[in-house]
Amino acid sequence: MYRGEVLWRRSRPWASDLPDYIGQLQDAIAADLPPEAREAEAEAEETAIVLDKPLDITDATFEQEAIQASHDLPVLVDFWAEWCGPCRQVSPILEKLAGEFAGQIRVVKVDTDANPGLSQAFQIRSIPTIAVFKQGKLIFMQPGALPEPSFRELIKQAIELEIPADEEAASA
């Protein structure tokens, strides 16, 4: 007790405290920004990034670059490794299709050797493994290399697929 107040310390914050701290920091930063900067920031958030080549992502960026991004466009994820022969055959096909379908689908690559957390989370047992996310949901996952026509058909189906809204979200 110090001057009538109960004091308690933690050597570091609880994990549950971090979202509050982050929110407080974001609010403080936003309050310091001039109005022009706030408008520019809002416009930048609204503008979707169009990728014409596969994007390498990690355990740390997967949530944002694949799951969250799939709310705007379907996301095709290639789980691969440098030493994998079939992965090297699939890579130029995905680069070509990423350019061809730019603005309609996002292609990302996950190196399974460098990102073991994602390999475990998705139970990747063989590579390459191809996964597709749309509206935050896994809609396709298959191990093995596919020929270009199969990739093309998969991408077209992912683009055309309509996912019904959740009943809970619809009733809210």
**3-state SS, one letter per residue, for the chain:** CECCECCCCCCCCCHHHHHHHHHHHHHHHHHHCCHHHHHHHHHHHHCCCCCCCCEEECCCCHHHHHHHHHHCCCEEEEEECCCCHHHHHHHHHHHHHHHHCCCCCEEEEEECCCCHHHHHHCCCCCCCEEEEEECCEEEEEEECCCCHHHHHHHHHHHHHCCCCCCHHHHHC
Tell me, yes or no, if 96 is annotated catalytic: no
Annotated catalytic, 84? yes
Select which of 87, 93, 97, 108 is catalytic.
87
Q: Which of 69, 73, 84, 97 is catalytic?
A: 84
What residues are annotated to the active site? 84, 87
